[in-house]
Structures are given as C-alpha cells and as structure tokens.
C-alpha cells in the first residue's frame, strides 16, 4: 500500500492518500479544496488516477476537495451514509468494509464532534492505521461546542471505539496545529490532555471550559460541505482563492 500524509496549512488539515499497488485504485481521505492542485500533482507523480474521496464528516473549518476532485479526476465521493448527502456517490457505515482495490477500510461510527462523524481504520501487516478525523487529535480532541457536537458522546466514541484498539495503532488525525504528524493509541491514552486518563465528568468539564473562538469558516464551510465542497455564494472575499481558481463543477 502506498501511503502519503499531505498537509493544507491554512486550516492545518491533514489529508491522506492510500493507494493499492495491485489494482492502482486509490483514495484521498479528507481532501481540502485549497490543495486540490497539489493533490493532483501527487497523484500524477505516482501515476495514480483517483478512485475515491472519503470524508470523515461535514467539516466546519475548511471546504472539502471532494466535489472538485470528482470534476477534475473523476473520483467518486464517499461520505458517512448517515449524512444522506445527495452529492455523495457512496455511503459508508460501520460494519460494512469499503474496499479501495485490495485495501479494506473499516468505518467506525464515532459521533461527538459532529453527530455523524466517522473514523476509518486500515489494518496493515504490521500496524493498524486509524484515521481519527476530528474525533481524536494529537494531545487533544475535536471541539464539541457547535454543529451537533456533544462532549459525552465524544467521550464514549473515543473510549469505546479508539481506546479499545491495540496500543501500537497509528493515529493519523485530520488536523494538527503544532506540526505534529502522528501518534499512537498508547500515547493518547497516557497523555492526551483532554481525555487521557480522564473520567467522563472531568472530560465534559474540560470541554465546557475550552473557551474557543468562533470557527472562522463555519458559516460557509458547513453549507458548502453539505454539497461535498461546493463553493457557496456567501464566501467572504478573503477565502475565495481556491473557489476562484476553477469554474464550479
């Protein structure tokens, strides 16, 4: 399996390219509109044609690259089935393995950051790789104070679906704001400042007191991502760059 971790600096988003060398099929998990051209270059450099984009949830901090990549590369758009997005070609749900060539992707229903959030798990011959989305990040968790978030639900998702995985499981989050790239389940159980070794009550209290600023892109990102990364009409001028670079598909 070919694997690349890709970064979009404005929203500090990690996208992940996974490709099956036997079939040439490949997917990008959580692509970002701003870096679609970079993603296409990476695909070209590896002589790959994008088969799927796969989102973990309806993001509030960036526009998904799913729609544009479909237009430019012909990829099919996969989202959690529970999102019921008319723009999605494929609905993913826990218990149903999704195949990218010979790679088996296991969706994990992990609500709490949003009520429909899914993480994805791939087992390799040595490691399990957890694409934890915005549920579990490195030394933190996704905020729960907007867009159907709920701290108790997130706590249970992480404890039950993530912290039950083997200690050596590789954790690849959707974001990091301090240039960290990777963690493991053991590391997050031991030292995650929000949830590592914390009770539900402690966690809820921590989340209630994060005092985070209003998400700067949420007002256009959520409606745009509800259409798989459509550039919405109300996008402020300063964020129009990636929307202006192509005609809308």
Instruction: Give whichever of 192 and 230 is closer to a second copy, judged by the CB atom.
Output: 192
- 178 scored as a contact of a second copy (CB under 8 A): yes
- 49 scored as a contact of a second copy (CB under 8 A): no
Instruction: Judge whether 185 and 165 are in contact, CB under 8 Å.
Output: yes
Instruction: Judge whether 133 and 64 are in contact, CB under 8 Å.
Output: no
Specify the stretch interacting with a second copy by CB under 8 A; choose among 24-32, 79-87, 112-120, 183-191.
Answer: 183-191
Give phi and psi for 55, each to the nearest 5: -100, 150
Among 23, 44, 93, 124, binds a second copy (CB under 8 A): 124
- Three-state secondary structure call for residue 51: coil
- 3 scored as a contact of a second copy (CB under 8 A): yes
Give phi and psi for 173, each to the nearest 5: -85, 170
- Rounded Cα distance between 249 and 67, Å, is 7
Among 40, 187, 218, 232, binds a second copy (CB under 8 A): 187
The candidate with the shortest Cα–Cα distance to 75, out of 84, 64, 83, is: 64
- In which residue are the tokens 């598909």 written? 249
Instruction: Give whichever of 3 and 74 is closer to a second copy, judged by the CB atom.
Output: 3
Among 29, 73, 129, 222, binds a second copy (CB under 8 A): 129
- 104 scored as a contact of a second copy (CB under 8 A): no
Residues that bind a second copy (CB under 8 A): 1, 3-5, 124-127, 129, 167-168, 170, 178-184, 186-187, 190-191
């Amino acid at each position: 399996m070919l694997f690349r971790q890709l970064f979009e600096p404005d929203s500090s988003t990690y996208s992940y390219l996974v490709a099956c060398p036997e079939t040439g099929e490949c997917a990008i998990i959580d692509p970002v509109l701003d870096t679609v051209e970079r993603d296409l270059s990476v695909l070209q450099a590896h002589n790959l044609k994008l088969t799927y984009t796969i989102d973990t949830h309806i993001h509030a901090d960036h526009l998904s690259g799913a729609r544009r990549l479909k237009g430019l590369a012909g990829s099919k758009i996969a989202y959690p089935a529970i999102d019921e997005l008319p723009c999605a070609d494929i609905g993913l749900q826990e218990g149903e393995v999704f195949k990218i060539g010979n790679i088996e992707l296991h969706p994990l229903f992990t609500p709490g950051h949003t009520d429909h959030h899914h993480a994805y798990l791939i087992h390799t011959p040595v490691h399990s790789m957890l694409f934890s989305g915005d549920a579990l990040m490195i030394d933190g968790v996704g905020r729960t104070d907007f867009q159907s978030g709920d701290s108790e639900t997130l706590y249970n998702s992480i404890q039950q679906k993530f912290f039950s995985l083997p200690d050596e499981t590789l954790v690849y989050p959707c974001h990091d704001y301090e240039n960290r790239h990777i963690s493991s389940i053991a590391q997050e159980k031991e030292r995650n400042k929000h949830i590592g070794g914390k009770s539900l009550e402690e966690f809820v209290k921590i989340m209630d007191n994060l005092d985070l600023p209003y998400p700067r892109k949420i007002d256009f990102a959520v409606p745009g991502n509800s259409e798989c990364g459509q550039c919405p009409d109300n996008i402020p001028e300063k964020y129009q760059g990636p929307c202006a670079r192509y005609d809308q598909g």
